[in-house]
Structure 1
Amino acid sequence: MIDARNIYRKVTRKIFDFSPEQEQNILAIVWLYRGETGRYLDLVAGYCQRMLAEGAACVRATGGSPLPDFIGALTTLRGAVEPFLKTLAKDAPHDVRATGGSPQQELDDAIPLFKADVDSFRKTVSEQQAAWGQQKTTNGELKKAVDHLATLAETSRDLVKQTDLLYKLACRLIETCENECNARDSDAWAGRDITRARKAADEARALAVEQLKQVRYFWKQAHWLTERFPEAKLRDVEGLVKLVDRAEIEANDWSLTPGRYVGVAPEEEDEDFDFEEALRDIHVELEDLNAEAVQLAATIKKNFEELGV
């Protein structure tokens, strides 16, 4: 019996479905039941290879490269603000240039650290890809590989946080200039260029974040399988799967409801929960509901008018 109620991705507020990888993971349980261990191991190995490929795509030397592109867009944005910053006296009120916690200093300190972390990430991915050429695909070796790649997965998540933070610091610098230093009144403030650069930086940030998330996503698929079936053999997993015989089904009045057999899955903490993104989603849904309410009210009013009420 397989209970897949806890395996899903949220598409909208009302719609849930399976991702292609989740479908493959459920199918892998069937493979283990049939004794098709090789197909299970190939799937785990494929997830690891895909993870490394997605990591390489974050920093590839040719074509679109999300992380270098974001760094470039951020540098352009920082450069667009620089002419105005040079007009500020270092002892001016609300100075954004002062050392020790100023918006400019925080951003300028964070950028080199981010570049160093991206270079380290690039080096690690390259080394892991080279090492994968010698990777054995036995269950024990693949499980070790998945555990070893956990560090890279966490690094990608840290880079997501750093990417978002850098963009927020840049926005904070701009807002401080405009709100506390009267930047809009200065001839040195290139408002249109800054707005354009800010939009480009945000788009580059979104692309970099999405690509980085793919690294950890595919690692999580491999880890999901090896954590639940560490011996590459079908076993009972609370809340997911249980091997039952006809006698047990008969004892349950021939019920084929999986939940009666597999039990309840332990509640898992969502480590990838993004509070700000959740608020944005709620805001979008609220706007949609408000629009629907207005449309419905207009329809009701029209119907009443036609009825002469």
Structure 2
Amino acid sequence: MNQQEIKQLETDLWDSANTLRANSKLTAAEYKDPVLGLILLRYAQNRYDQAKGAVEASIPEGPRGKRSATKDDFLAQGAMMLPEKSQYDYLADLPEGEAIDEAINEAMRLIENEYPDLQGVLPKNYQEMDTDLLSELIRVFNKDSVKNLTGDVFGRIYEFFLMKFSMDGAGAQEGGEFFTPPSLVQLIVNLIKPDHGIIHDPACGSAGMFVQTGHFLEENKSVKSINEAITCYGTELKSNNTRLAKMNLAIHGIEGKIIEDNSFYSDPHNLVGKCDFVMANPPFNVKKVDKKKDYVKNDVRLFKDVGIPNADNGNYLWIQYFHSYLNKNGRAGFVMTSSATDAGSTEKNIREKLVETGDVDCIVSVGNNFFYTRSLPCHVWFLDKGKPRVNKDKILMIDARNTFRVVTNTINDFSLGQLQNFSTVMESYRGDSRAIADGNEKHQKNAIELATEISREVNLLRQQCQEILDEHKSVSLDFTDVVDELAIFSKVPSEPEFDECKTLIHVFENPVEKLTLHLEEYQTALEQDKKELSALDNKNTDKNKAKKKQLDEHGKLLRSLVIIIKEHRQVLKESLSNYKQQVKDWQFMLENFPENEYQDIEGFCKIVNKDEVKENDFSLTPGRYVGYKIQIDEEFDYKFRISEINKELNSLNHSANDLMNFIQGVKL
């Protein structure tokens, strides 16, 4: 499956599952775990089916024939040996009237009995769900399109469902802590590049940091397997999140040790000074941490003398934990509340000591609306104990508050191109002289891939339109010129430069819109002809018969074309939007780094030294250093928006005047 097909499948499965929930009495939080459990079960079935042939082939012939397959045989193929009553097919084929809820609970129990690492992890509360709803859910994940999916795709689906549940507020009662938005996880992973060794997340939620690390290793074609390259350790306070994390690792085939514990009062993995990488999105502003506990007072993870902040929040405890876990070359990336970069009093003292170590590598300001359950801005901190000597007294400040992509009215994220730009700037700051040039080459490559994808889609549209026209040759409507114009997409230049890629935006936009407009014009004309025909006398004359037949043929042709265009239009709209964003992100780098060398960019990035930070009272807020640059969105219609605002203001003024007149006319 290509990326577009996977994305469509994710959406279709979510829509089906969410529609079922909408017709039930369950909240998103109540629905989340059972659905994720069924996804894991479906994945286990697919892996079992895919491994079965290889397992049977690997068993040698003995004097009495082949022995029976064992659990170890399946584990060697990266699969679980499922008991019969835990197999998805068994559940899907249960006769009507059977207790499906108890059957699923039993399936989960049997798997846990066979695999101790999953003990207590799988959901077993299906009796709380309506049996008809469960049966429908089983059918949703038993479609042919799902049965042959690989682990990678299932991992994507699991992550997609986690994200959607988070957006729907599932877990909001827990602070929305189980899921970190993918953009922020990708930002952290891309900048610290966790490609080896021990990785720790002391507030791991659903283990998204570990999963994204796996993606990073795959995308960068690591010579080692994920489990050979890295060892994952996670700590999580909440039981439900711990289960989510273990299921997430299982479905992605990542080995890891997740312990349910409170990181404020314990270090269950004993990892101080041992980690190659630390990544986290800890809960912000945690109150009532008991700083009088002996463990806290004697915690080796805290700086001596200044380690325990007076403020009633856990922010600077977390920051010190992350720093302490790193080995001499370790890197950390973590999300933190915006207030932490300027916090005063004892928190400032801790920040000063941290800056003096020279280990603060980079701070990124992130704007509003990146989190699904709250709109707060945040900062992403990066520490590096192995910084090159030339950078030891320097910090890269990036203000990304004006860098984002609008997903919905309430949610923003980073595009892949924007994430690449952050990574490119970081690598250039670290001393890679080829980073910016290489980054631009990646932009070009990605633009070509997206353009080719659009070309393929539009060419398919052209072919299908042509087939429809060939079927209706007797129709007098002429679409030839417009359909032929779509043929321009049959080939994209092999290595187009930026200007060519930018020009392609208009080339892509025009023909499909023209075809749609052409259809609308004919549709209007057809409706007018129908009105004229109905206005004629009802005599069944040959002329009227011919006219009616012609209109019917026109109608069939138009309906067929409309169906085809609707099928392609949404895909093309999304693909074109991605292409525009890719070109825009590429343009940003070309305009700001024309010599392919790092330079400070007003309003975006600046390299500061410790003396400058000291002069600013040890503030680590990028906005203090990078300055401000007014950015104009060329695609936004400012004049129209101002006109809208004026109309709205006038309307409100009229309403206010009417209300004032009414109040003044009231006799007390």
Q: TM-score range by the shorter chain?
A: 0.5 to 0.7
CA distance in 1, matches of 2:487, 2:444: 25
Tell me which of 446, 464, 475 is aligned to 1:50: 446
Whether the 8 Å contact between 1:77 and 1:197 is mirrored in structure 2 is yes
**Does the C-alpha gap of structure 1 residues 75 and 174 become closer, same or farther in structure 2, counting only changes over 3 Å?**
farther
Aligned partner of 2:591 in structure 1 is 227
Question: Amino acid of the residue matched to residue 67 of structure 1?
Answer: V
1:125 aligns with 2:516: no
Aligned-partner Cα distance in 2 for 1:223–1:13 = 25
Aligned to 1:268: 632
1:71 maps to 2:462: yes
Question: Which of 157, 179, 196 in structure 1 is aligned with 2:506?
Answer: 157
Q: Give the letter for the 1:15 counterpart.
A: I
1:32-54 alpha-carbon deviations (Å, 9 max, x no partner): 11112334433321221222233
Q: Structure 1 78/179 Cα, relative in aligned 2: closer, same or farther at 3 Å? A: farther
Counterparts of 1:183 and 1:111, CA distance in 2: 29
Deviation for aligned residue 1:17: 1.5
Q: Provide Cα deviations, 1:171-200, integer angstroms capped at 9, x if missing partner.
A: 221222113444886233144664243121
Q: TM-score, normalised by structure 1?
A: 0.62
Q: Is the 8 A contact 2:399 2:626 kept in 1?
A: yes
- Larger strand share, 1 or 2: 2
Q: Does the CA contact (< 8 Å) of 2:486 and 2:511 recur in 1?
A: no
Unmatched segments (≥5 aa) in structure 2: 1-396, 535-547, 642-668
Q: Distance in 2 between matches of 1:44 and 1:241?
A: 18
- 1:249 corresponds to which letter in structure 2? V
How far, CA to CA, are the matches of 1:15 and 1:253 in structure 2?
33
Superposed CA offset, 1:99-133 (max 9, x none): xxxxx67x554444x246435xx2x514x37xxxx
Deviation at 1:203, TM superposition (A): 1.9
**C-alpha distance after superposition, 1:257-277 (max 9, x if no partner):** 221221112222333x599xx
SS of the residue aligned with 1:3? strand
Q: Is the Cα contact below 8 Å between 1:76 and 1:197 reproduced in 2?
A: no
Q: Are the aligned partners of 2:501 and 2:583 in contact in 1 as well (CA < 8 Å)?
A: no
Shifted more, 22-31 versus 213-222: the winner is: 213-222
The alpha-carbon distance between structure 1 residues 198 and 80, as it changes in their structure 2 partners (threshold 3 A), is: farther
- The counterpart of 2:549, out of the listed 187, 199, 202, is 187
RMSD: 3.3
Equivalence for 1:178: 527
* Separation in structure 2 between the aligned mates of residue 80 and residue 201 of structure 1, nearest angstrom: 17
- Cα distance between partner residues in 2 of 1:174 and 1:228: 48
Structure-2 separation of matches of 1:77 and 1:171: 17
TM-score, normalising length: structure 2: 0.31
Q: Secondary structure at the match of 2:427?
A: helix
CA contact (8 A) 1:51 1:215 kept: yes
Q: Structure 1 81/179 Cα, relative in aligned 2: closer, same or farther at 3 Å? A: farther
Question: What letter is aligned with 1:226?
Answer: L
Compute the displacement of 1:3 (Å).
Answer: 0.3
Distance in 2 (alpha carbons) for counterparts of 1:166 and 1:181: 22
Q: What is the SS of the residue equivalent to 1:125?
A: coil
Tell me if structure 2 keeps the 8 A contact 1:8–1:16. yes
**Contact 2:447-2:501 within 8 A present in 1 as well:** no
CA shift, 1:225, in A, is 1.7
CA distance in 2, matches of 1:171, 1:205: 15
Structure with higher RCO (Cα < 8 A, 6+ apart): 1
Question: Map of 1:191-206 to 2, 5 A cutoff?
Answer: 191=555, 194-206=558-570
Q: Count residues in correspondence.
A: 228
1:14, CA displacement in angstroms? 0.8
Give the aligned partner of residue 168 of structure 1: 517
Cα deviation 1:194-217 (Å, max 9, x = unaligned): 424312122223334444444444
The alpha-carbon deviation at position 161 of structure 1 amounts to 2.7
How far apart, in 2, do the equivalents of 1:36 and 1:259 lie? 25
SS at match of 1:223: helix
Amino acid at match of 2:501: L
Partner-residue secondary structure (3-state), 2:399 = coil
State how 1:236-275 maps to structure 2 within 5 Å: 236-271=600-635
* Residues 8 and 22, structure 1, Cα contact 8 Å, conserved in 2: yes
- Please name the residue that 1:14 is paired with: 410
Deviation at 1:223, TM superposition (A): 2.5
Name the CA distance, whole Å, in 1 between partners of 2:610 and 2:480.
68
Distance (whole Å) between structure 1 residues aligned to residue 558 and residue 518 of structure 2 = 15
The aligned counterpart of 1:207 is 571
Structure 1 contact 70–205 (Cα < 8 Å) conserved: no
Q: Letter of the 2:615 partner, please give it.
A: A
Code of the residue aligned with 1:72 in structure 2: it is Q
Which letter maps to 1:157?
H
Alpha carbons of structure 1 residues 11 and 208: separation in structure 2 relative to 1, 3 Å: closer
Tell me if structure 2 keeps the 8 A contact 1:40–1:232. yes
CA distance in structure 2 between the aligned counterparts of 1:268 and 1:232, rounded to whole angstroms: 24
C-alpha separation in 1, matches of 2:486 and 2:407: 34
% identity of equivalent residues: 24
Give the one of 418, 423, 427 matched to 1:27: 423
From the CA coordinates, give the structure whose radius of gyration is larger: 2
- Tell me what 1:285 maps to: none
CA pair 209-12 structure 1, distance change in 2 beyond 3 A: closer
For residues 182 and 274 of structure 1, do their structure 2 counterparts lie closer, same or farther at Cα, with a shift above 3 Å needed?
A: farther
C-alpha contact 2:417 2:581 (8 A) present in aligned 1: no
Counterparts of 1:226 and 1:8 in 2: how far apart (Å)?
18
Given that residues 400 and 604 in structure 2 are in contact (C-alpha distance below 8 angstroms), is that contact kept between their aligned partners in structure 1?
yes
Separation in structure 2 between the aligned mates of residue 207 and residue 79 of structure 1, nearest angstrom? 25
Write the distance in 1 (CA, Å) between the matches of 2:605 and 2:633.
Answer: 20
Give the partner amino acid of 2:458. Answer: L
Listed as ranges, the matches of 1:133-152 within 5 Å are: 148-152=497-501
| Structure 1 range deviating more: 177-186 or 202-211 | 177-186
Instruction: Quickly say closer, same or farther: Cα 1:260–1:225, change in 2 above 3 A.
Output: same
Q: 8-17 vs 173-182, which deviates more? A: 173-182
